[in-house]
Amino acid sequence: VQTCALPIWAMLDREGAEGPADVAIVGDEDVVAAQVRALADAGVTEFVASCFGSREERDRTRSVLRSLL
């Protein structure tokens, strides 16, 4: 188990984000998959997802993310 050394607000500040909306990936399965792939193409090697929405939406999000492993 790996823990984060910085609190979320410090990470957002470090990246120049004003809030979570600046770093959120939101959309249907195709949009989410494309945005995560774009991060990988840009060289991102670690990605942490926090799923939200209804149970069905969270399940769909996890399914998309698992398909990208």
Angle between helices 29-41 and 55-67 (to 10 degrees): 40
Name the band, by pLDDT with cuts 50, 70 and 90, for residue 3: low
Q: What is the reported pTM?
A: 0.75
d(CA 33, CA 39): 10
Sheet strands (E) in the chain: none
* Model confidence at 2: pLDDT above 60: no
pLDDT of amino acid 4: 61
**Span of 26-30, 49-53, 56-60 with lowest mean pLDDT:** 49-53
pLDDT in tens, 4-41: 667 777 878 888 888 888 888 999 999 999 999 999 99
